[in-house]
Amino acid sequence: MTFKRASAALTVLCVALLAAAADSNAAALPAPAHIATEVPSARLAGQGVYRWFGLKLYQAQLWIGNQGFQPAALAATHFALDLQYAHAFDGRKIAQKSIEEIQKLGFGTDDQRQRWLAQMEACFPRVEDGTHLTGIHVPGSGVRYYRDGKWICEIRDQEFATAFFAIWLDPRTSAGQLREQLLGNLQSPPS
């Protein structure tokens, strides 16, 4: 093996080890207070960046509780999805994009989607670079929303909750790479 090949192989190995260390360090991060309060024994399952034509829109983190997370049993699982925005967006635009994604996934009737859109428009605030919006899935109830760790609203509708979180967690999502990153480190509940 030439020196160049050995050097390249060593570089690849170092990058892989650093990535693995970053993943294990991320999993050990303490949950933000509002997430720890809402999701017992919250731990970071995965995180990733959502980009649109190369432009970073937000960083996403999926926090799960001690029961673990089963994507197929989404409605029965207590978890949090935290989005940290990288740009300013109007809350109405966030709501509109959310309802477009929900419709693409085939959730809800036209009447339900109109009601959900109105609820999200009333709930979602304007965000700036660095703003965190967190959705807490409450099984059998709906979604509680937080802005930068402070409660802003609750939408009590389990069908809405399933449709909303499907934007990121459904296998048919338009954000497939982000979904893989969010779900990539899932393990069974800690022993």
Residue with tokens 């509109």: 96
User: Which pLDDT score is estimated for 132?
Assistant: 98
User: Which pLDDT score is estimated for 136?
Assistant: 98
Contact 178, 41 (CB under 8 A): no
Fold of 31-183: Chalcone isomerase (3.50.70)
> Does position 17 have pLDDT exceeding 50, yes or no?
no
Cα 18 from chain centre: 23
Sign for the pseudo-dihedral over CA of 158, 187, 43, 90: negative
The identity of residue 51, as a single letter, is: R
Residue 88: pLDDT band with limits 50, 70, 90? very high
**85 vs 88: CA distance, rounded Å:** 7
- Percent helix, percent strand, percent coil in the chain, to nearest 5: 45, 25, 30
pLDDT digits (tens, 9 = 90+) for 52-70: 899 999 999 999 998 888 8
**117 vs 99: CA distance, rounded Å:** 6
User: Which pLDDT score is estimated for 70?
Assistant: 80
